[in-house]
């Protein structure tokens, strides 16, 4: 059968009857049984799995990371001066660290890849005579694909009915949509698939119109499959945060090497032998390596993304988590985001302003228009909530009236700039007059502008003079101020001649039929979410295509805007406003309702806000919202009501379409960013007590023996430090995280205040305690500076116990540092010492490993440790408390000195 392979692209260009014959199908569509049989034969409609990054290449990347290069240098020095034992130990650490980093990197990739399951791609096909929504992977050759505005096209197909505009940018890079329609007899469709005027291709999107197309190719047999086969599409860009940390890693490497090179001759001048000086250099290099820095950060970002996905927000790029933390302006839609998107008919109004069109003629005319001018499916009752509510109003109006419609002969889709849609409907068979009627529906002011008269029951229409227009406008404005959404309907008898093809010629000289007022309550969680946004220093603007009074009423009920008069900017006023004036308006910080706005307005507002230095989150759901979603720092698409085009352009997708989820995402972004900083603080603080013993040894010219061995440092960094660091990366959000200003755009993750706290407070106090404990053990045994403690001397065992005290002291200080690192501003007592169970488990593991290293005979021979007595253990118990207490005192001083953040009054 032809459809079993369907690999020849020229099949799409064959005459339509030949194509249908080759595919063994007809214009009635397939049956479900036939579709399942074909799916078994040709396989799922998917592209071949992209090649994953090479495991060898990924491992090589970990082995050549700047921090790994430091260890390579240390290993080379160890082999040259200390023999194979230490050198092999360092090489083992390099291998283990690379393996650990690789595992975490792969885990992070899988965590992000798993989110794709939240965004299934679907297609509408005609099967068994009915429109059926199926997973795109189940589309087979011979299926009749139903294409509508906003739909992503899932297979290569030939149009058999209708006309659509297609965005081909994913195939040919052209940004201007191309018209694709059923070709008439004798029309040349082109000699290349991409040029054929009646062919639609997989991977493209419909930006307007409706059509039905027969599927010819699926999966790797499509044009997109051919492109995918020629090139790899698996490139992964590093996030700004990762690039920042990588620069820091190179800085650490440069500092460590420079200090090592500088102190090597200085140590020898101070009286150290070359062997002793090389030990110092090796220790310095090893102590400066924060193992697992990059992969742990990547994992923390991935965990934050996965956590947010479970709460309704799908982040498509890891880097977006960072941006969310600094968002200071949210531009939101109204319907469905602030409101429940559950439109209900509030009231119906006749064309002359009566509260309900009770007259038979008026009610029937309005019901007929509402039935005709819709994109919802009245049989399956599926479609846009507003359309469904209007159909419900039509059914109520139609009771007892004849509202029979003829066949639909044409349609002008809703235009966001015109704020209108029009349907051409043939006269019903019972109407002997025949001809075509145009039914128009849209924003009241847009419809009224094109109306010349209003229907009157069983009487000739009345002209819409200035007085009637003014009365209607006042009534509509009063309804809109109550937060109601208003829809106007009109019609025009086009006669029996061929209808005009120009939209403007159709949508003129209309007869007003009436209005419908709809209510859409604010979501329950929105007012609290808006309050939290304000407390976090975030400004919320509303950008909507709705009436200004309606949008302002909804915004006020959500808590957006000033307590007094709402600042409403209509689209017409915005169009006439120069950029300088718009910048001045936005710079005031007032929350604004941009009403009757077009997608171009959204794009312009986002651009001007960014030019003022703001980090902008923008919501959208339509095809034309894609440019603004791409322009914004965080483009947010609706997962339920949004189009495939909007979801593809967005950085984040809301599975519940709820504004409150955006605020949760901002909080999650702040939390993840904070946790990355806490992890870096924890890692940096440990470098000081590890480096200081080597500096004391070198600067004393060997008079004070080396307080720590390289093997012990490796044990600390690999065996005791890792799990607490990972647990800190999953710390809960700090109290008050949404009561502080957004992070400034471009702010470095590593700041001067962080380094002061890491190296000066946590690291400095730890270093004093570690050196103090080391010297205390030596001094208690009668040691004085310059006394030989080498092997075979009376004090050698005491020296080994002293180094063990330093080793255990660093571990004890790590416990205090871990607790201190959990908060940046508030006291740890406020959140609870044991609230992070992962950290408690990590500390327990750290202490267990340290105990084995100190008391296990086999570990003692490798690490040079000795058992500690109860006096040393009692002293060690105080170390965590002292480190944590010093940091608590420092942060208390900072809190008292800091000026409280006061959000702008709303």
Active site residues: 333
Q: Please tell me the distance from the alpha carbon of residue 262 to that of residue 274, in angstroms, as a whole number.
A: 14
Contact 845, 723 (CB under 8 A): yes
Task: Show the tokens assigned to 705.
Answer: 């023996």
- Strands (DSSP E) along 852-904, which ranges? none
In degrees rounded to 5, what are phi and psi of residue 543? -120, 115
Q: Which residues contact 749 (CB under 8 A, 6 or more apart)?
A: 241, 244, 245, 673, 676, 677, 680
Strand, helix or coil for residue 327: coil
Q: Which residues contact 772 (CB under 8 A, 6 or more apart)?
A: none
Q: Please tell me the distance from the alpha carbon of residue 421 to that of residue 412, in angstroms, as a whole number.
A: 6
Contact 409, 382 (CB under 8 A): no
Eight-state DSSP code of residue 707: S
Q: Which of 10, 14, 34 is nearest to 24 (CA)?
A: 34
Q: How many CA atoms lie within 13 A of 432 on its CB side?
A: 0
Q: Which residues contact 236 (CB under 8 A, 6 or more apart)?
A: 53
**Judging by DSSP bridges, how do beta strands 420-426 and 616-620 pair with one another?**
unpaired
Q: Is the alpha carbon torsion for 390, 395, 396, 398 positive or negative?
A: positive
Q: Which residue has the tokens 């208690």?
A: 780
Task: Show the tokens assigned to 99.
Answer: 């393996």
Count Cβ neighbours within 10 Å for each residue of 438-469 and write b for 16 or more, e otherwise: bbbbbbbbbbbebbebbbbbeeeeeebeeebe
Q: Which of 471, 887, 550, 99 is nearest to 879 (CA)?
A: 887
Q: Which residues contact 414 (CB under 8 A, 6 or more apart)?
A: 375, 420, 421, 442
Q: Which residue has the tokens 């006061």?
A: 902
- Strands (DSSP E) along 11-135, which ranges? 122-127, 130-135
Q: How many residues are present in the chain?
A: 906
Contact 213, 159 (CB under 8 A): yes
In degrees rounded to 5, what are phi and psi of residue 782? 95, 10
Contact 809, 777 (CB under 8 A): no
DSSP string, 722-768: HHHHHHHTTPPPPTTTTSSPPPPTT--SS-HHHHIIIIIIIHHHHHH
Q: Please tell me the distance from the alpha carbon of residue 769 to that of residue 815, in angstroms, as a whole number.
A: 13
Q: Determine how many CB atoms are found less than 10 A away from the CB of residue 766.
A: 28
Q: Which residue has the tokens 């890849």?
A: 113
Q: Which of 764, 744, 893, 864 is nearest to 805 (CA)?
A: 864
Task: Show the tokens assigned to 493.
Answer: 């008898």
Q: Which residue has the tokens 């900083």?
A: 677
**Judging by DSSP bridges, how do beta strands 652-654 and 634-638 pair with one another?**
parallel
Dihedral in degrees, nearest 10, Cα atoms 521, 525, 531, 536: -130
Q: Is the alpha carbon torsion for 644, 44, 172, 414 positive or negative?
A: negative
Contact 131, 144 (CB under 8 A): no
Helix (H) or strand (E) holding 23: helix 16-23
In degrees rounded to 5, what are phi and psi of residue 803? -65, -35
The angle formed by the CA atoms of residues 853, 854 and 860, to the nearest 5 degrees, is 75
């Amino acid at each position: 059968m032809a459809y079993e392979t369907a690999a020849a692209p020229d099949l799409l260009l064959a005459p339509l009857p030949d194509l249908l014959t080759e595919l063994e199908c007809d214009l009635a569509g397939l049956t479900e049984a036939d579709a399942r049989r074909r799916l078994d034969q040709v396989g799922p409609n998917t592209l071949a799995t992209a090649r994953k990054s090479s495991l060898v290449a990924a491992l090589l990347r970990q082995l050549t990371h700047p921090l790994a290069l430091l260890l390579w240098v240390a290993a080379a020095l160890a082999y040259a001066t200390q023999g194979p034992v230490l050198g092999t130990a360092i090489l083992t650490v390099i291998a283990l660290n690379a393996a650990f980093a690789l595992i975490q990197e792969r885990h992070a990739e899988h965590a992000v890849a798993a989110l794709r399951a939240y965004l299934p791609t679907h297609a509408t096909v005609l099967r068994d005579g009915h429109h059926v929504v199926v997973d795109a992977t189940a589309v087979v050759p011979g299926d009749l694909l139903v294409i509508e505005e906003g739909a992503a096209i899932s297979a290569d197909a030939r149009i058999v009915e209708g006309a659509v505009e297609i965005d081909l940018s994913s195939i040919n890079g052209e940004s201007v949509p191309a018209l694709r329609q059923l070709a008439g007899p004798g029309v040349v469709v082109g000699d290349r698939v991409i040029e054929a005027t009646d062919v639609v291709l997989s991977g493209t999107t419909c930006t307007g119109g409706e059509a039905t197309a027969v599927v010819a190719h699926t999966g790797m047999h499509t044009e997109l499959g051919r492109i995918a086969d020629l090139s790899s599409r698996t490139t992964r860009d590093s996030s700004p945060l990762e690039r920042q940390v990588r620069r820091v890693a190179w800085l650490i490497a440069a500092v460590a090497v420079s200090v090592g090179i500088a102190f090597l001759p200085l140590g020898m001048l101070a009286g150290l032998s070359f062997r002793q000086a090389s030990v110092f250099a090796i220790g310095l290099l090893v102590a400066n390596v924060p193992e697992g820095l990059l992969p742990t950060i990547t994992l923390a970002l991935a965990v934050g993304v996965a956590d947010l996905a479970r709460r309704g927000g799908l982040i498509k790029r890891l880097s977006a988590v960072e941006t969310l933390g600094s968002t200071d302006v949210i531009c939101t839609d109204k319907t469905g985001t602030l409101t429940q998107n559950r439109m209900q008919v509030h009231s119906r109004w006749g064309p002359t302003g009566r509260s309900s069109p009770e007259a038979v003629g008026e009610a029937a005319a309005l019901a007929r228009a509402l039935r005709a001018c819709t994109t919802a499916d009245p049989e399956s009752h599926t479609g846009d909530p507003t359309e469904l509510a209007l159909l419900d109003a039509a059914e109520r109006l139609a009771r007892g009236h004849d509202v029979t419609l003829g066949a639909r002969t044409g349609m002008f889709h809703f235009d966001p700039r015109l704020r209108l849609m029009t349907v051409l409907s043939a006269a019903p068979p019972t109407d002997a007059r025949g001809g075509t009627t145009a039914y128009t529906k849209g924003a009241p002011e847009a419809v009224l502008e094109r109306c010349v008269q209003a229907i009157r029951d069983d009487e000739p229409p009345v002209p819409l003079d200035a007085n009637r227009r003014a009365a209607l406008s006042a009534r509509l404005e009063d309804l809109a101020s109550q937060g109601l959404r208003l829809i106007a309907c009109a019609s025009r008898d086009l006669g029996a001649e061929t209808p005009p093809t120009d939209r403007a010629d159709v949508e003129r000289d209309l007869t007003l039929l009436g209005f419908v007022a709809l209510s859409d309550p604010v979501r329950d969680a929105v007012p609290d979410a808006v309050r939290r946004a304000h407390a976090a220093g975030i400004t919320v603007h509303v950008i909507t295509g709705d009436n200004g009074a309606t949008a302002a009423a909804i915004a006020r009920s959500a808590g957006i805007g000033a307590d007094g008069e709402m600042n409403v900017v209509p689209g017409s006023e915005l169009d006439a406003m120069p950029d300088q004036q718009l910048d001045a308006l936005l710079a005031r910080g007032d929350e604004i309702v941009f009403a009757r706005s077009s997608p171009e307005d959204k794009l312009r507002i986002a651009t001007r806000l960014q030019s003022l230095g703001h980090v902008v989150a923008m919501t959208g759901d339509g095809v034309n919202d894609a440019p603004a979603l791409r322009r914004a720092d965080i483009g947010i698409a609706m997962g339920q009501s949004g189009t495939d085009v909007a979801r593809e352009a967005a950085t984040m997708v809301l599975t519940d379409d709820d504004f409150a989820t955006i605020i949760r995402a901002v909080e999650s972004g702040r939390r993840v960013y904070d946790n990355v900083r806490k992890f870096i603080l924890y890692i940096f603080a440990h470098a000081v007590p590890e480096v200081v013993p080597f500096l004391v040894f070198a600067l004393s010219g060997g008079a004070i023996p080396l307080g720590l061995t390289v093997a012990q440092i490796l044990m600390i960094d690999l065996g005791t430090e890792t799990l607490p660091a990972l647990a800190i990366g999953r710390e809960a959000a700090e109290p008050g995280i949404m009561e502080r200003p957004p992070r400034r755009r471009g702010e470095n993750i590593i700041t001067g205040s962080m380094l002061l706290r890491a190296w000066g407070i946590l690291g400095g106090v730890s270093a004093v305690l570690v050196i103090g404990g080391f010297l205390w053990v030596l001094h208690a045994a009668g040691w004085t500076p310059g006394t030989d403690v080498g092997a075979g001397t009376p004090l050698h065992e005491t020296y080994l116990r002293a180094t063990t005290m330093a080793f255990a002291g660093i571990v004890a200080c790590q416990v205090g540092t871990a607790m201190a690192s959990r908060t940046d501003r508030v006291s740890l007592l406020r959140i609870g010492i044991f609230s992070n169970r992962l950290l408690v488990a990590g500390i327990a593991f750290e202490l267990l490993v340290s105990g084995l290293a100190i008391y296990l005979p086999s570990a003692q021979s490798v690490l040079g440790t000795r058992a500690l007595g109860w006096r040393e253990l009692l002293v060690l118990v105080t170390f965590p408390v002292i480190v944590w207490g010093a940091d608590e005192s420092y942060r208390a001083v900072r809190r008292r000195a800091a000026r409280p953040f006061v959000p702008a009054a709303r």
